[in-house]
Structure 1
Amino acid sequence: MKNKLLLIILLSLFTSGLFAKQRLLIFSKTVGWHHTSIPAGITAIIKLGQENNFDVDTTIDARKFTYANLKQYAAVIFLNTTGDVLDIAQQAEFEKYIKAGGGFVGVHSATDTEYDWPWYGNLVGAYFKSHPAQQTAVFHVVDRDFIATKHLPAEWKRFDELYNFKWISPDIHVLITIDEKTYTGGTNGDNHPMSWYHDYDGGRSFYTALGHTDESYVDPLYLKHLLGGIEYAMGNAGK
């Protein structure tokens, strides 16, 4: 009888969602430039989910942006999105999701997205301006206590497409900066952030400018960096 009662309680907890896996939605719609590394990124994030006990759905369909659909996800990741990817109604639904405590992860060209939607600009934390030729540079990890950076060396040397920004929010908590003296084509000066996080409008937002290349998505340091950002956005940073 006791075992039967315990089974009923456990089934109730599972159906109530207490023990349910968290879910992540990858959104990779592009209206401008289309990154050929998107499939590699999707594959890598699905694998991260399998290894870290969260489920991953993927879409390029903006019609999925209803609050009724989004509320099942602990976080939404804009994986190399570009251009105007959501209409006004979909924008309102996504705002509702974030305001209800949802999480956001922006990867690389997520800052090359929705230039005419100021709320989104503040959520992602910056807007893309330009980039020089892909090259190797030195990154300074300025916060090594955060879940997405605590595994990284203080100076991280890597190859990627290196973004300049035309606007950067003053409200972000910077995790990584890039040393413009170590490469050519930087335009943001000594204060050139490349990854950050912040609580925003009821939700959580993490962004990394890294992730242009296919090679990023098999790089253990980068993948752990991205995983940390996902865990923060899903509300797991303190767990």
Structure 2
Amino acid sequence: MKTWLARVLLGLLAATVLLVAAGYFTLRSMGLFRAPEYDTQAPVLPTLASPAILVFYKTSGYVHTEAIPAANALLVELAEELGYAIYVTDNGAVINPEQLSQFDVLVWNNNTGSVLSPPQQTHFRRWLENGGKWLGLHSASDNHFSWDWYVNEVIGAAFNGATRIPQQPRAQLVFENRDHPVLSGLPASIWLNDEFYSFSNSPRDTSTVLATLDESSYIEEQALVREQLRMGDHPIIWVRRVGEGAAVYSAIGHSADTYAIPEYRRLLSNALHWLIQGDHDSPAP
């Protein structure tokens, strides 16, 4: 009996080790458990007409393997439609004063983890506070958690959790401040499936909220994380001042399919155009 029990226990232990190993390597394949690697050699930029957009998609955490290329492709398409030059890179060394000065808008596309070295953080901060324009997509809020200026001044709210089961439920996105140019041509609301973020604080007091989630449309089925996700007032897209610069952040965009939604495509096109051409004197209350 003891021999039989020992064999069973050893079998269970071996199965557990295999499951843990399989889980670890699965998460590694998704980009987790990586130490940050900071780029030191800046890319050679092509000659860019003005205005120009820089798209930055570096990750050192979870990799949105489908959403990143979908967003990159859409941004290139929108830039061409708007008549703007665009450069797409995952090289963090592009965040230097000389090269940043060639761009009117910097887009962070689903970045995760620590993606900029301390000197690069300083360059980015100076560029944005001195009049740069920034657009953050989805997990642009899911990185640099220890960089207080980025969390508090660029994003304006601290990431607190995301939908789990189902990861991408269907929810209603309600637009407000509909006279803002970023919402030009959009309806009062849309329905979509995506991964929805929650935040430990609301950006409403320091930002102009452009869209909120109707929590009653999705949150009850999120049984595992319901209370963590519940905000009551749930901003999901907003604009804000950052020194002399301006920022637009949208927590939408985990799914590649989201970038094919006509209304979201229109919103991102409007955002790029407003950041480059618009009046940014009062993007926050």
Same fold (TM over 0.5): yes
Separation of aligned partners in 1, 2:90 and 2:115: 9
Q: Secondary structure at the match of 1:167?
A: coil
Aligned residue pairs: how many? 219
Shift of 1:212: 1.1
Q: Which structure is higher in strand share?
A: 1
- Counterpart of 2:185 (choices 151, 155, 160) is 151
Which residue of the partner structure matches residue 193 of structure 1? 235
Deviations 1:13-40 (CA, angstroms, capped at 9, x unpaired): xxxxxxx531000010111110021011
- Counterpart of 1:128 (choices 159, 174, 193) is 159
TM, length-normalised to structure 2: 0.73
Deviations 1:180-211 (CA, angstroms, capped at 9, x unpaired): 10002362432100000011111010011111
Q: Give yes or no for the alignment of 1:161 onto 2:202.
A: no
- Counterpart of 1:176 (choices 211, 217, 226) is 211
Deviations 1:47-77 (CA, angstroms, capped at 9, x unpaired): 1011111011011111111111101100100
Identical aligned pairs, as a percentage? 30
- Counterpart of 1:206 (choices 229, 238, 248) is 248
Separation of aligned partners in 1, 2:115 and 2:136: 14
Q: Secondary structure at the match of 1:134?
A: coil
Which residue of the partner structure matches residue 266 of structure 2? 224
Any conservation in 1 of the 2:198–2:231 contact (CA below 8 Å)? no
Separation of aligned partners in 2, 1:135 and 1:32: 23
Identify if the C-alpha distance between structure 1 residues 167 and 189 changes in structure 2 by more than 3 Å, giving closer, same or farther: closer
Any conservation in 2 of the 1:228–1:237 contact (CA below 8 Å)? no
Which residue of the partner structure matches residue 237 of structure 1? 278
Separation of aligned partners in 1, 2:91 and 2:50: 23
Q: Which runs of 5+ in 2 are unaligned?
A: 1-48, 281-285
Any conservation in 2 of the 1:32–1:83 contact (CA below 8 Å)? yes
Compute the RMSD of aligned alpha carbons: 1.6
Write the mapping of 1:28-107 to structure 2, written as runs, cut at 5 A.
28-36=57-65, 37-107=67-137
Which residue of the partner structure matches residue 10 of structure 1? none
Deviations 1:128-173 (CA, angstroms, capped at 9, x unpaired): 2211121110111111111221322212111111111123433111
Superposed structure 1 runs of 4+ greater than 3 Å apart:
167-170
TM, length-normalised to structure 1: 0.87
Q: Secondary structure at the match of 2:199?
A: strand
Q: Which runs of 5+ in 1 are unaligned?
A: 1-19
Q: Secondary structure at the match of 2:125?
A: helix
